[in-house]
Amino acid sequence: MTQLSLKKIYSGKVRDLYEIDDQRMLMVATDRLSAFDVILDDPIPRKGEILTQISNFWFKKLAHIMPNHFTGETVYDVLPKEEADLVKDRAVVCNRLTPIKIESIVRGYLTGSGLKDYKATGTICGLELPEGLVEASKLPEPIFTPSSKAAVGDHDINISYAECEELIGAELAKQVKEKAIALYKEAAEYALTKGIIICDTKFEFGLDENGVLTLMDEVLTPDSSRFWSVATYQEGTNPPSFDKQFVRDWLENSGWNKQAPAPKVPADVIQKTVDKYQEALDLLTK
């Protein structure tokens, strides 16, 4: 990854954070890919740039629902020109926030861990759902299904709304739930007009210095969401998605035990993944 003159304060699965001052930081989206909570050795070229463009599109489109982490500055305001030129398409200047300690997941369709829970109990995160739903069924209404934030390398754990209230307080939980569902509904409605079904998504929220709930991190990208094509969607099947599913499927079939290190991913699988990310960006923003 590019070396910057700013001090690096955090390196996550995908993003690196650099300190600007007490109030602001630079968030850089890398080309790293994490699958099954393991960071792969092989980067996905241009992934960070594409995901940043998708996120920035949604941040602007949904700004009327709630504030977001943007300061309004560009990388050229905080970096020397040579460095800014290198990261301008994958970096944003954002306010420092206090992260909310849950993953805010909204589901509009049934799949993944939600489907497993439903098959076992008829519920997801304690929420009763109608009988007779199958893979990829559209839910009567989008549902808020939080999970606890895991340490790097561990898996997040689905929790009930009551547990969410215990973790962050009833008032904040209510606010997070309402905002998450409002964001999802507006985004899902728009995406449908572009031929994309947003099956589910994960939002990250934080509090600013005045305690105002603020949208942060990334928004409605193929890394934080499951995008399906309207053209290939069929209830009862697992529709192909616009994300790292190519890589995940290849890894699933490789015999890998899902412990680090991951096997080397073939070039054609990486290229298909880049193409799907680019297709999602083109569909949403053109």
Helical H segments across 90-158, by residue range: 112-121
Residue type for position 112: G
The class of domain 98-229 in CATH terms is alpha beta
Give the pLDDT score at 173.
98
Sketch the domain layout of the chain as residue ranges: 1-96, 98-229
- Using an 8 Å Cβ cutoff, are 39 and 47 in contact? no
Cβ neighbours of residue 121 closer than 8 Å, sequence gap 6 or more:
none
What are the residue ranges in the chain where pLDDT is below 50? Answer: none
pLDDT digits (tens, 9 = 90+) for 72-127: 999 999 999 999 999 999 999 999 999 999 999 999 999 988 999 999 999 999 89
What is the maximum span of the chain, computed from C-alpha positions, in angstroms? Answer: 59
Answer yes or no: are the C-beta atoms of 82 and 45 closer than 8 Å: no
Asked if residues 274 and 45 have their Cβ atoms less than 8 Å apart, the reply is yes
Preceding omega of 99 cis (within 30 degrees of 0):
no
Residue-level pLDDT at 154: 61
The CA distance from 59 to 220, in Å, is 9
- Give the pLDDT of residue 37: 82
pLDDT value of residue 150: 65
- Nearest 5°: the CA angle 66, 71, 75 is 135
What is the value of pTM for the model shown?
A: 0.93
**168: CB partners within 8 A, 6+ apart:** 100, 101, 102, 176
Give the separation between CA 148 and CA 211, rounded to whole angstroms.
21
Domain 1-96's class?
alpha beta
Which spans in the chain are helix H? 47-61, 81-87, 112-121, 161-168, 170-193, 245-253, 267-285
Rg (CA), the chain: 19
